[in-house]
Amino acid sequence: MDTIPNSPAARDIAYFFHPVTNARRHEQVGPRIIERGKGIYVYDDQGREYIEALAGLWSVAIGFGEPRLAKAAAAQMEKLPYYHSFSHKSHMPGIELSERLVKMAPVKMSKVFYTNSGSEANDTAVKLVWYYNNAIGRPNKKKIISRIKAYHGITIGAGSLTGLPLNHRDFDLPIANILHTCCPHYYRFGRDGESEEDFATRMAQDLEDLILREGPDTVAAFIGEPLMGAGGVIVPPKTYWEKIQKVCRKYDLLIIADEVINGFGRTGKTFACETFGIKPDMMVLSKAITSSYQPLAAVLFTDQIYQAVADNTNKIGAFGHGFTASAHPVVLAVAMENLNIIEERKLIQNAAAMAPVLQDGLRKLSAHPLVGEVRGLGLIAAVELVADKATKRPFDPIGKVGNWVFERAHDHGLIVRAIGDSIAFCPPLIIDAAQIGEMISRFRKTLDDAQAWIR
């Protein structure tokens, strides 16, 4: 890249190692520097405007540039900029947010534990499962089943739960005791003539077969995103969760619902556990909890787990797990104000009202020659591009066209996410009908460009 010496781009290339980026390509193309944001839009350092169709990383629910969150952070910084919650210490943001989350939860939860990221929260969930089973005298019941194409983060535990090759390859993951069952993507893995319900039955049977092969006494938990996000926005087939939960209960597996993307309105209800009738033993929350203005995640768990864990802490001295910034008061103050805004502005109701606008609008692209499947629910969706609509044949190599579309969309003022050749949409929950129309129109132009490029 022809960068001016000492320019921000040159300094970026010189010093900044970027997550989830091809480092050699980055040296050539350099960074796109985003300077500010307002509502559903962000602006780069050249003054170009983009619709942020993925809400950052699926997370900026209330939109960019909300001054109330800055004020909440500043007020808490002035009062108590930091305190921890180890060894019986507490603070009001911790007390208030915990009470609020337990009361909001769709099933009866007992306690909340805070981390700085969704990955750490999923690691915490794994450790809680292990600790719980040790506490109740089941030291062999430790394996955790996740799914192919799941995304649960990238730390050693959470990265193992993730079921995507790029997050495992050359990192020596997954670790032992983490297993993956089938991905419930009907369009890709449903068989000819198989109904969605029959496909869900087969998915549940595959889970049961895996448990039986491993030995039910060795399998402790099942973890799933109610609606899979970063693996490609995969809406579970009808009856899937009902059947999966039945298998989990039969073999006494804990159910962990990873609501990191789904939670706080994304599917049109507060939690996707309500959307799909899931009764989890643990819930993992993050992203929209602060609209990502501050890093935060939370693990909620039931009284059954709490009682066993509490007894064990009493037996061995303390719960030996916690982060310096667990329940950081400034972060929690921001979360409280963010949840106030979601409530006051009725953003979950807005997500439900805008859902058909987004879903029907994108489905109108189904006739486009490149579009194989349009899928989604609420304010989350994906458009899967294929080489052959009739046979569903993917492009070769997978991801080349998706990445081209991702890049080109910027020229039309649109930031999306390419997952292979699926283009994901997950806009801020504040989006209105006209903005959705504009977003889809920018995407359609990009698709037309892609078609011209391919042919």
Three-state DSSP string of 70-135: HHHHHHHHHHCCCCCCCCCCCCHHHHHHHHHHHHHCCCCCCEEEEECCHHHHHHHHHHHHHHHHHH
Q: Would you give the distance in Å from CA 403 to the centre of its chain?
A: 20
Closer residue to ligand PLP (CB): 10 or 325: 325
Member of 76, 85, 98, 117 binding ligand PLP (CB under 6 A): 117
DSSP string, 413-452: TEE-EEETTEEEE---TT--HHHHHHHHHHHHHHHHHHHH
Member of 286, 290, 291, 446 binding ligand PLP (CB under 6 A): 286
- How near is the Cβ of 344 to ligand PLP at its closest, in Å? 26
To the nearest 10 degrees (0 to 180), the angle between helices 196-214 and 240-250 is 20
- How near is the Cβ of 73 to ligand PLP at its closest, in Å? 19
* Contact flag: residue 261 with ligand PLP (CB under 6 A): yes
* Contact flag: residue 230 with ligand PLP (CB under 6 A): yes
Identify which range of 179-187, 223-231, 247-255, 397-405 contacts ligand PLP by CB under 6 A: 223-231
- How near is the Cβ of 325 to ligand PLP at its closest, in Å? 13
Site string (20-39) toward ligand PLP, x via CB under 6 A:
--------------------
- How near is the Cβ of 260 to ligand PLP at its closest, in Å? 3
Q: Both tokens of residue 442?
A: 């920018």
Closer residue to ligand PLP (CB): 299 or 383: 299
Identify which range of 206-214, 241-249, 256-264, 356-364 contacts ligand PLP by CB under 6 A: 256-264
φ, ψ of residue 129 to 5 degrees: the values are -60, -45
Pairing of strands 178-181, 254-258: unpaired
* Contact flag: residue 119 with ligand PLP (CB under 6 A): yes
* Contact flag: residue 260 with ligand PLP (CB under 6 A): yes
Member of 66, 123, 208, 258 binding ligand PLP (CB under 6 A): 258
- How near is the Cβ of 152 to ligand PLP at its closest, in Å? 5
Pairing of strands 143-147, 219-224: parallel
What is the DSSP-derived secondary structure letter of residue 196? H
- How near is the Cβ of 392 to ligand PLP at its closest, in Å? 26
Pseudo-torsion of CA 423, 428, 434, 436, nearest 10°? 10
Cα 88 from Cα 153, distance rounded (Å): 30
Find all residues with CB under 8 Å of 62, minimum gap 6, and list them.
Answer: 69, 291, 338, 341, 342, 345, 347, 428, 429, 430
Count of residues in contact with ligand PLP, rule CB under 6 A: 15
Cα 268 from Cα 326, distance rounded (Å): 29
Closer residue to ligand PLP (CB): 98 or 122: 122
φ, ψ of residue 249 to 5 degrees: the values are -65, -40
Closer residue to ligand PLP (CB): 115 or 133: 115
To the nearest 10 degrees (0 to 180), the angle between helices 329-344 and 67-79 is 150
Residue nearest ligand PLP by beta-carbon distance: 118
* Contact flag: residue 422 with ligand PLP (CB under 6 A): no
Closer residue to ligand PLP (CB): 119 or 326: 119
Identify which range of 29-37, 212-220, 254-262, 437-445 contacts ligand PLP by CB under 6 A: 254-262
* Contact flag: residue 118 with ligand PLP (CB under 6 A): yes
Near ligand PLP in 136-155, by CB under 6 A = 151-153
- How near is the Cβ of 318 to ligand PLP at its closest, in Å? 25
User: What Cα–Cα distance (Å) separates residue 38 from each residue in 83, 269, 431?
Assistant: 31, 25, 12
Closer residue to ligand PLP (CB): 286 or 435: 286
Q: Both tokens of residue 354?
A: 């805008």
Closer residue to ligand PLP (CB): 155 or 239: 155
Closer residue to ligand PLP (CB): 372 or 376: 376
Cα 401 from Cα 20, distance rounded (Å): 18
Closer residue to ligand PLP (CB): 211 or 223: 223
- How near is the Cβ of 144 to ligand PLP at its closest, in Å? 14
Find all residues with CB under 8 Å of 162, minimum gap 6, and list them.
Answer: 146, 150, 151, 152, 153, 154, 168, 173
Closer residue to ligand PLP (CB): 234 or 305: 234
Three-class secondary structure of residue 242 per DSSP: helix
To the nearest 10 degrees (0 to 180), the angle between helices 433-454 and 347-363 is 30
Identify which range of 31-39, 112-120, 213-221, 358-366 contacts ligand PLP by CB under 6 A: 112-120
Name the residues that contact ligand PLP, by CB under 6 A: 57, 117-119, 122, 151-153, 225, 229-230, 258, 260-261, 286
